[in-house]
Amino acid sequence: ADVLDALVKLGEITGKKRRAEQLAARLRNRLGGSQPRSLGLTSVLRRPKALTIIGNKPLIVVGGGSFIGDIMRYAGVSNLAERARIAYPQYGFEQLLSDNPDLLIVAKGVIEEREMASDSNWRRLSAVKNKNIIFVDADVLSRPGPRVVEAIETISRFAHGR
């Protein structure tokens, strides 16, 4: 919501308010299309347990109260690191193994799938065994701009098969 509000304000500042409002409306409509899958049916829909990895060596994940955490929530996944006191905490591999997420969301360039598949520790995770890993463009995932809707849609489709 903040991203779309900022888009309209930027349109006002640049003299393109009408265009910005139209774009924001289109993006809100796209988000509305994701909501029945991810937000509207939370009592019916199972929210897969997920972790978003944005750093490796050390392992950095997305915690609660973060922009990417909001993306995860809108996409209909349960963030296992939601209770972290900081937005992007360092995560111990032992904790990752203990949490054993249903799926992993990984910023592209952080770690390669073949690296995960060849490492005996990573292979212990259900998400790796079942190939429930999505690699999302880091710019799309981490920049609060109009493409945030693309990140939500991509993760929602991956998590819920729609």
- List pLDDT tens digits, range 88-98: 999 999 999 99
pLDDT at 39 over 70: no
Directed axis angle between helix 148-160 and helix 17-38, to 10°?
Answer: 20
What is the model's pLDDT at position 45? 58
Q: Provide the 3-class DSSP secondary structure of residue 141.
A: helix
pLDDT at 103 over 60: yes
What is the model's pLDDT at position 89? 94
What is the model's pLDDT at position 162? 56
Tokens of 63: 């915690």
pLDDT at 68 over 60: yes
| pTM of the shown model | 0.79
